[in-house]
Amino acid sequence: MFSTTLAFASRTRPLNVVVADDVVEIQELVQHWLKDVGCAVSCASCGREVVKLMREKQIDVVITDVIMPDGDGLEVICDVKRLQPEARVLAISGGGSHLQAKDCLRFAKGLGAHGVLLKPFNREQLLDAVNLVAMR
């Protein structure tokens, strides 16, 4: 964990991150973890909100749940590639009623997500994944 925290601290400017998840508690937890290491974080509950944020400011990393209402994570991945192709995408999923999480993440990777993370995850796993995605 120390090396991951050190990697975030050594950046010349804060990493601009959007967290997209329809579960507010997950948004808040991920936002808390990322702010603790110096990231600037915005949250969105659906794909439409991510697009709005991308039109307002430059984003470094988008963390998106794959299954969300009103613009799912797969659409978010395509929107990021179109609107801010230099931004990196980390797809997260715990699955849904018709798809297992691993399948969701495989689809996300196939559409161009730079990294994937299976829910549930802990702080260290999230920070490691964000750090790897941001460095690529």
Q: Smallest Cα–Cα separation from 129: which of 28, 30, 13?
A: 30
| HSE-up (13 A, CA, CB side) for residue 124 | 3
Which region, left, alpha or beta, applies to residue 57 given φ > 0 means left and ψ of -120 to 50 means alpha? beta
Q: What residue spans define the domains of the chain?
A: 13-126
Q: What is the pTM of this model?
A: 0.93
Q: Computed from CA positions of residues 20, 131, 25, 68, in that sequence, does the dihedral angle turn out positive or negative?
A: positive
In this predicted model, what pLDDT tens digit does every residue of 78-129 receive, in sequence order?
999 999 999 999 999 998 778 899 999 999 999 999 999 999 999 999 999 9
The fold for domain 13-126 equals: Rossmann fold (3.40.50)
What's the pLDDT at 1? Answer: 47
Which pLDDT value is given to residue 19?
98
